[in-house]
């Protein structure tokens, strides 16, 4: 069961890696395709080394922190933050690339959808956001099916195609007839082109690191099972990648960066993906198996995008826990998922998809840099780890030595590939990633410093320093009154119940009519607290109130001032739009005044009583005339006013 | 001075009305242009009638409520709400149409900007939003210049062009050579086409109503001056509209809805606006006067868009005052402008511009329906008004009778035009407006009903019914404690100062380590209130706290529970992203619990002290070791903890 969950990311890259590899070679002309077995072989070799290296990492750091933890532990804070930034960027690009490739494969099967490429891609991301916000854990068993279907159907296609080839009836792609005119290239340009093809092929490696982040989710023996999964995943990825590349060469598939350069191709049409061309050549373009393969490919790609929706929020939460990211990333939403991280990931992926018009070839240029940054730093960290083990601990020297060799090899390979990828992709758009990673890193270190400063600021340094002051000052409660209505009456009720030294009501006179009416009602109702009226020449509220508070403190000496504000509680989010923000803005401004605290006295409006009523304790007592519920003896009188907005009698 | 402020909207429509009129006629073929003088004549006649009608309206309703007030007073709530909806929709479209036309005229002068049409339009709207949010009142004198420049330069162009025509040297537009092939049209189709051309020409009438909404802004005698402005504006609009249409015909301007139908025109290029073509024909395409006219036209169009930024928020505030719109529309922002209304208007205009790709011809199809709905209902309301005057009052019968005749005529014309506009534009996109107006109207009536219900719910019905209960119940303060830090110490301070019957500290145990540390520190610091610890099996906060509050009330009888929550006050908006939302979410959930009120005890972080420090009273006393300011004697001890975050000594 672990395979489908972790493998969809790694395996899905088979859907685009061979295509992009061949496409880059084809820039040089059809003749360059002869180089593809060598380039593909290099990618396979790299894949083997990386899988072996990660088997070591999983063993040494089984806690699920992955490259971030390895780099942070062994290479210091900066390396850890850089790895984290690289991974965050790459999670975003995983979503963008996988969705773009998935949409490509859908369009290859249903070309009439071509005009809605961007809309489809954005739609899928929105779908992933909603699914993940609602919590898809329970559906993870359903994830197994498309992955196995993908492995099975693509495997069947490779076997069928190669058998037909062996029998002399090699499948032929429709595009085999098209030709690309050779370009005159210098020696250096040829080398660069081959390296670019290799860089693009390396996108097959993405997702290998997923297992190392998920070790805690494995069944015991965790490490052993994680290593087995890694090996199985690597094996399948190599078979599919090599087989698909070979079959595409056999079938003579031509996939061009600029389709119009394909002589004979109607380039106003969308170019079918390599997967679709191979499937059509092997099974026939209208066959059921063709559609099965396209559907399975699209599903696996969307699953791969989905894994980023697990990884990104989890990494965000780890970073928040360590103080490198806003704490809200470590807060679980209503359905116990890290909803903020999911929304950020989805929004970023949508921006990327819209800006790059969901164009796979352009997106691939940005991709895998982040992966190789984290690969490289992770492997370097592992080298450091084994060296430390060798230096300090006596036992297990043999294990540490073999680990050192493997991870040193891994580090050499991944650093080399990182250099190649950087050289070949930088001017093709990857500079943006090279800008994003340091910016994110600096931001994270800044956030960490900010939290440390706040922590330092609010720490109580000196025991016995503060409790001498408790409760020594004067105390006054000010109830803000706009009109004499039930919420205000309840606020006065509460203020009186709290036994403040002084309680008074304050009204800001904005229009004379309302003020006169209030003063009259105040007398008429024989309100138990005195009403103070302050003038507001500029029709503002906060100014006169803060002036009054300051003046009061000057006249009566230092006192704690508690300002009582009635606060509406509504049942529907849209009702918030209809209630004035005045109370909130007022409280924000009042909190800046020395010695002031704000007491919010909630008033549940009808709609909220209907919605939240069931949550609070049901009221005893029946209606007693006029539709008002009877005050409950056990609740006492103070509750009475609030009870009228309660669930009873509605 | 009143002319430029109010007239830019009405006069700017001259920049697109003749163009759209001729364009629609040209759909039928070049021969149809012969009908244009008749169509233009009908528009001029309508303009005269509407100006006369509004002179009456200004006299009868000088308070600035315009059509909304007239319809609401005379025809009832529904009519008023419909007029308001129509006007709101039309304000949005005024911005969209004016900006789109302004960008068109800029592109006509600088064709290399053509690819950025939408971006330019959105940019201008953003500029208008920012300008208006900052309050542009003081710059209104600067508004006069472009308007006078527009009147002057376009007037000069018309005179020059017509004089050259009279002298036999008629200016000839570059597009005069292009031809449009005649289309075979049925009788009915011809009539419909002429009516459509008339409808598009009627866009020249937009903005006439602006004066009626701005009467209070005039100098005394207000009514007389407003009427004079109306007449002057109408006169100038007629001269410019008629002159420009005539000159375009003389110069043989061809402006096509589908530029590719113009035989001879390279339709990959942007089509220059009619204004640009006439200016180029009269003064030469590269002349200074050509660029002056294009610049003045663009400026006046942007000014017209700007008038909507005055009108929309003002109407929104009036609607909010009357209870038909959220009260926040009646709240002035920091710079005393109705900022919410401005943001809504700008955002809506941007959406419209993006959806319709800033295409003037498409946008014009939606336009003026709102204007004519409000014209018609306003005039019908005026007819009712005069009839009531005639029925009730003895004097001024003569005036009422002439008013009745004029407004009845106005009502007939505007209703007729509304019918024509509806028929000709409905299928061309205007159905959207016909959907928006009733939806908005229903929404407004719903909002009004909601406010009335709330008002009823919170009203105190029965004098002497509520004050018996004041202060009769038990009272407990609960200070929520996460870790023992200064903000918590301050909250305890404040709770003790308020003399509650009972004060206790409550901690939710989420991780054992933190809880143990807290308990130890609590003893070590000899805190003056007892610490209660509740377990949280699901790592949530709100659940255990509400359960504790409910349990406490059950054990101790009904009491008012005041929950004290420390609240961070930060200096920069982005710092809010870094502080946990937990306090806010907690307070929202606690407020649903019976008998609970929330006291927020502010804690000013360093950054806020730097920013807000100057606003609060400066502290006496100097630093006393360790960077902590000395407690000020006059403030007393309770202030001390808060003072450490205050402005002193930083």
Contacts of A447 in chain B (CB under 8 A): 578
Question: Could you count the other beta carbons within 10 Å of the beta carbon of residue A18?
Answer: 32
B267: its two tokens: 């339709």
Mark yes or no for CB contact B639/A527 under 8 Å: no
Q: What is the DSSP letter of A388?
A: H
Peptide bond into B494 cis (omega under 30): no
Residue of A445, A466, A522 to mutate for B, most B C-beta atoms under 10 A = A466
pLDDT digits (tens, 9 = 90+) for B49-69: 989 888 888 888 887 778 888
Is B347's pLDDT higher than 90? yes
The bridge status of strand B596-604 relative to strand A596-604 is: antiparallel
Is B636's pLDDT higher than 60? no
Please check whether residue A558 touches B, CB under 8 A: yes
The bridge status of strand B474-480 relative to strand A559-569 is: unpaired
Three-state SS for A81-146 is HHHHHHHHHHHHHHHHHHHHHHHHHHHHHCHHHHHHHHHHHHHHHHHHHHHHHCCCHHHHHHHHHH
Is A109's pLDDT higher than 50? yes
Q: Which of residues 480-509 of A touch B (CB under 8 A)?
A: 484-487, 489, 492-494, 496-501
Kindly indicate the confidence band of residue B467, based on its pLDDT and cuts at 50, 70 and 90.
very low
Crossing angle of helices B431-458 and B369-392, in 10° steps, is 60
Contacts of A641 in chain B (CB under 8 A): 466, 469
Mark yes or no for CB contact A642/B472 under 8 Å: no
B252-266: average pLDDT: 82
B10-39: average pLDDT: 89
The lowest-confidence range among A507-521, A576-590, B116-130 is A576-590
Share of chain A above pLDDT 70, in %: 88
Contacts of B569 in chain A (CB under 8 A): 591-592
B315: its two tokens: 């109407």
**In which order are the strands placed within the sheet that holds A531-535?**
A531-535, A502-509, A474-480, A559-569, A596-604, B596-604, B559-569, B474-480, B502-509, B531-535
A471, A497, A600 member nearest B560 (Cβ): A497
Burial A237-269 (b: 16+ CB within 10 A, else e): bbbbbbbbbbbbbbbbbbbbeebebbeebeeee
Contacts of A598 in chain B (CB under 8 A): 599-600, 602
What does residue A505 show for φ and ψ, rounded to 5 degrees?
-105, 140
pLDDT digits (tens, 9 = 90+) for A8-34: 888 888 889 999 999 999 888 888 888
Share of chain B above pLDDT 90, in %: 24
pLDDT digits (tens, 9 = 90+) for B389-415: 888 866 677 788 888 888 899 889 889
Is the dihedral angle over the CA atoms A259, A264, A267, A269 positive or is it negative?
negative
B110: its two tokens: 């600088």
Please check whether residue A552 touches B, CB under 8 A: no
Is A610's pLDDT higher than 80? no
Q: For residue B639, what pLDDT is reported?
A: 31
A309-324: average pLDDT: 87
Is A246's pLDDT higher than 90? yes
Q: For residue A582, what pLDDT is reported?
A: 75
Q: For residue B267, what pLDDT is reported?
A: 75
Mark yes or no for CB contact A527/B467 under 8 Å: yes
pLDDT digits (tens, 9 = 90+) for B85-103: 999 998 999 999 999 999 9
First to last CA, chain B: 52
The lowest-confidence range among A159-173, A306-320, A446-460, B457-471 is B457-471
Q: Which of residues 446-485 of A touch B (CB under 8 A)?
A: 447, 450-451, 453-454, 457-461, 463-464, 466-475, 477, 484-485
A477-501: average pLDDT: 87
Please check whether residue A394 touches B, CB under 8 A: no
Contacts of B646 in chain A (CB under 8 A): 594
Q: For residue A290, what pLDDT is reported?
A: 92
Mark yes or no for CB contact A616/B592 under 8 Å: yes
Q: For residue B141, what pLDDT is reported?
A: 66
Residues 6+ apart with CB under 8 A from B376: B411, B414, B415, B418
Is A245's pLDDT higher than 90? yes
Residues 6+ apart with CB under 8 A from B21: B36, B39, B40, B43, B197, B198, B200, B201, B245
Residues 6+ apart with CB under 8 A from B292: B149, B153
CB contact at 8 A, A147 and A8? yes
CB contact at 8 A, B195 and B303? no
B566: its two tokens: 């420390």
A541-555: average pLDDT: 86
**A211: closest CA of chain B, how far (Å):** 27
A558-579: average pLDDT: 80
Mark yes or no for CB contact A591/B598 under 8 Å: no
A38, containing H or E segment: helix A36-60
Average pLDDT value over all residues in chain B = 82
How many residue pairs bridge chain A and chain B with CB atoms within 8 Å of each other? 280
Kindly indicate the confidence band of residue A100, based on its pLDDT and cuts at 50, 70 and 90.
very high
Q: For residue A649, what pLDDT is reported?
A: 32
Strand boundaries in B186-239, DSSP class E: none
CB contact at 8 A, B106 and B299? no
What does residue A540 show for φ and ψ, rounded to 5 degrees?
-100, 165
Angle, alpha carbons B566-B571-B577 (nearest 5°)? 70
Using only C-alpha atoms, chain A has a radius of gyration, in whole angstroms, of 33
pLDDT digits (tens, 9 = 90+) for A503-530: 899 999 988 888 999 999 888 888 888 9
DSSP B453-501: HHHHHHB--STTSSGGGTT-SEEEEEEE-SS-BHHHHHHHHHHHHTT-S
Q: B239 or B65: which carries more pLDDT confidence?
A: B239
Please check whether residue B339 touches A, CB under 8 A: no
Kindly indicate the confidence band of residue A633, based on its pLDDT and cuts at 50, 70 and 90.
very low
Please check whether residue B119 touches A, CB under 8 A: no
CB contact at 8 A, A600 and B591? yes
Burial A178-214 (b: 16+ CB within 10 A, else e): bebeeeeeeeeeeeebbbbbbbbbbbbbbbbbbbbbb
Contacts of B472 in chain A (CB under 8 A): 497, 636-638
Distances from the Cα of A320 to the Cαs of A32, A95, A444, in angstroms?
48, 22, 10
Using only C-alpha atoms, chain B has a radius of gyration, in whole angstroms, of 33
A366: its two tokens: 């940005």
First to last CA, chain A: 52
Is B634's pLDDT higher than 80? no
Residue of B459, B595, B624, B644 to mutate for A, most A C-beta atoms under 10 A = B595
Mark yes or no for CB contact A562/B494 under 8 Å: yes
Is B616's pLDDT higher than 80? no
d(CA A3, CA A397): 32
d(CA B88, CA B436): 10
The four Cα atoms A68, A70, A73, A78 give a dihedral, to 10 degrees, of: -40
Is B83's pLDDT higher than 60? yes
Average pLDDT value over all residues in chain A = 82
Q: B174 or B538: which carries more pLDDT confidence?
A: B174
Nearest CA in chain A to B324: A578
A74: its two tokens: 């062994």
Q: Which of residues 511-540 of A touch B (CB under 8 A)?
A: 524-528
d(CA B446, CA A135): 36
d(CA B25, CA B21): 7
Q: For residue B650, what pLDDT is reported?
A: 28
Kindly indicate the confidence band of residue A371, based on its pLDDT and cuts at 50, 70 and 90.
confident
Closest CA to B645 of A587, A552, A592, A475: A592
Mark yes or no for CB contact B602/A592 under 8 Å: yes
Nearest CA in chain A to B550: A617
Is B574's pLDDT higher than 50? yes
Kindly indicate the confidence band of residue B637, based on its pLDDT and cuts at 50, 70 and 90.
very low
Residues 6+ apart with CB under 8 A from B495: B477, B479, B503, B529, B562, B564, B599
**Token pair 């790299």: residue:** A46
d(CA B419, CA B435): 16
Is A494's pLDDT higher than 60? yes
**What's the residue count for chain B?**
650
User: Cα A329 from chain centroid?
Assistant: 9
Strand boundaries in B362-464, DSSP class E: none
Nearest CA in chain B to A494: B560
Q: For residue A275, what pLDDT is reported?
A: 92
Residue of A457, A569, A583, A630 to mutate for B, most B C-beta atoms under 10 A = A457
d(CA B599, CA A596): 10
Q: Which of residues 605-634 of B touch A (CB under 8 A)?
A: 605-606, 608, 612, 615-617, 626, 631, 634
Mark yes or no for CB contact A447/B578 under 8 Å: yes
Is B153's pLDDT higher than 90? yes
pTM attached to this predicted model: 0.70
CB contact at 8 A, B575 and A326? no
Is B471's pLDDT higher than 70? no
Mark yes or no for CB contact B471/A638 under 8 Å: yes
Residue of A325, A329, A602, A626 to mutate for B, most B C-beta atoms under 10 A = A602
Burial of B305 (0-12, 13-18, 19+ CB in 10 A): buried
Could you give the 3-state DSSP secondary structure of residue A502? strand
d(CA A589, CA A355): 40
Mark yes or no for CB contact A486/B459 under 8 Å: yes
d(CA B93, CA B111): 25
Residues 6+ apart with CB under 8 A from A125: A95, A99, A305, A346, A349, A350, A353
Is B295's pLDDT higher than 60? yes
Mark yes or no for CB contact B578/A327 under 8 Å: yes
Residue of A119, A473, A499 to mutate for B, most B C-beta atoms under 10 A = A473
Q: For residue A580, what pLDDT is reported?
A: 64
CB contact at 8 A, B441 and B82? yes
Residues 6+ apart with CB under 8 A from B169: none
Angle, alpha carbons B329-B330-B335 (nearest 5°)? 95
Q: For residue A301, what pLDDT is reported?
A: 92
B606, containing H or E segment: helix B606-612
Is A216's pLDDT higher than 80? no
Contacts of A463 in chain B (CB under 8 A): 524-525
Q: For residue A648, what pLDDT is reported?
A: 31
Q: For residue A236, what pLDDT is reported?
A: 92
Q: For residue A616, what pLDDT is reported?
A: 36
């Amino acid at each position: 069961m672990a395979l489908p969950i972790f493998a969809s990311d790694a395996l899905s890259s088979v859907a685009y890696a061979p295509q992009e590899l061949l496409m880059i070679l084809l820039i040089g002309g059809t003749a360059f395709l002869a180089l593809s077995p060598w380039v593909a072989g290099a990618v396979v070799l790299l894949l083997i080394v990386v899988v072996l290296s990660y088997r070591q990492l999983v063993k040494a750091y089984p806690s699920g922190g992955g490259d971030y933890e390895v780099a942070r532990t062994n290479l210091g804070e900066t390396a850890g933050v850089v790895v984290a930034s690289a991974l965050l960027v790459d999670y975003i690009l995983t979503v963008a690339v996988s969705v773009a490739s998935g949409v490509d494969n859908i369009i290859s099967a249903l070309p009439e959808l071509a005009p809605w490429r961007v809309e489809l891609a954005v739609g899928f991301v929105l779908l992933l956001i909603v699914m993940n916000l609602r919590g898809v854990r329970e559906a993870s068993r359903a994830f197994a099916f498309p992955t196995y279907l993908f492995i099975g159907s693509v495997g069947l296609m490779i076997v069928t195609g190669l058998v037909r080839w062996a029998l002399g009836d090699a499948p032929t792609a429709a595009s085999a007839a098209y030709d690309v005119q050779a370009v005159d290239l210098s020696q250096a340009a040829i080398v660069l082109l081959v390296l670019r093809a290799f860089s693009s092929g390396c996108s097959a490696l993405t997702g290998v690191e997923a297992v190392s982040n998920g070790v805690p989710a494995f069944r015991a023996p965790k490490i052993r099972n994680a290593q087995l999964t890694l090996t199985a995943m690597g094996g399948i990825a190599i078979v599919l990648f090599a087989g698909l590349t070979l079959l595409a060469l056999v079938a003579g598939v031509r996939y061009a960066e600029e389709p119009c350069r394909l002589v004979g191709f109607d380039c106003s049409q969308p170019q079918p993906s390599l997967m679709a061309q191979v499937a059509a050549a092997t099974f026939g373009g209208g066959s059921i198996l063709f559609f099965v393969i396209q559907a399975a490919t699209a599903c696996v790609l969307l699953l791969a995008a989905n894994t980023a929706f697990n990884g990104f929020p989890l990494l965000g939460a780890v970073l928040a826990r360590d103080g490198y990211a806003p704490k809200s990333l470590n807060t679980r939403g209503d359905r116990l998922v890290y909803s903020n991280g999911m929304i950020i990931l989805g929004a970023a992926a949508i921006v990327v998809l819209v800006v790059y018009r969901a164009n796979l070839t352009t997106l691939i240029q940005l991709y895998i840099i982040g992966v190789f940054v984290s690969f490289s730093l992770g492997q370097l960290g592992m080298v450091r780890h084994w060296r430390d083990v060798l230096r300090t601990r006596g036992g297990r020297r043999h294990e540490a030595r073999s680990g050192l060799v493997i991870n040193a090899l891994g580090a050499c390979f991944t650093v080399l590939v990182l250099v190649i990828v950087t050289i070949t992709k930088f001017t093709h758009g990857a500079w943006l990633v090279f800008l994003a990673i340091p910016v994110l890193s600096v931001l994270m270190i800044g956030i960490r410093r900010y939290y440390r400063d706040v922590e330092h600021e609010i720490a109580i340094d000196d025991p016995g320093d503060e409790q001498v002051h408790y409760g020594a000052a004067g105390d006054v409660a000010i109830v803000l009154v706009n009109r004499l209505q039930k919420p205000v009456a309840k606020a006065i009720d509460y203020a009186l119940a709290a036994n403040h030294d002084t309680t008074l009501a304050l009204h800001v006179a904005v229009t004379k009519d309302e003020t006169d009416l209030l003063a009259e009602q105040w007398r008429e109702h024989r309100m138990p607290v005195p009403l103070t009226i302050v003038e507001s020449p500029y029709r503002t509220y906060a100014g006169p109130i803060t002036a009054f508070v300051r003046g009061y403190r000057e006249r009566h000496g230092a006192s704690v001032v508690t300002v009582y504000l009635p606060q509406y509680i509504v049942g529907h989010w849209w009702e918030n739009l209809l209630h004035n923000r005045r109370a909130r803005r007022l409280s924000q401004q009042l909190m800046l005044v020395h010695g002031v605290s704000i007491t919010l006295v909630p008033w549940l409006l009808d709609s909220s009583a209907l919605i939240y009523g069931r949550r609070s304790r049901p009221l005893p007592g029946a209606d007693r005339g006029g539709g008002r519920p009877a005050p409950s003896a056990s609740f006492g009188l103070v509750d009475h006013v609030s009870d009228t907005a309660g669930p009873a009698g509605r």
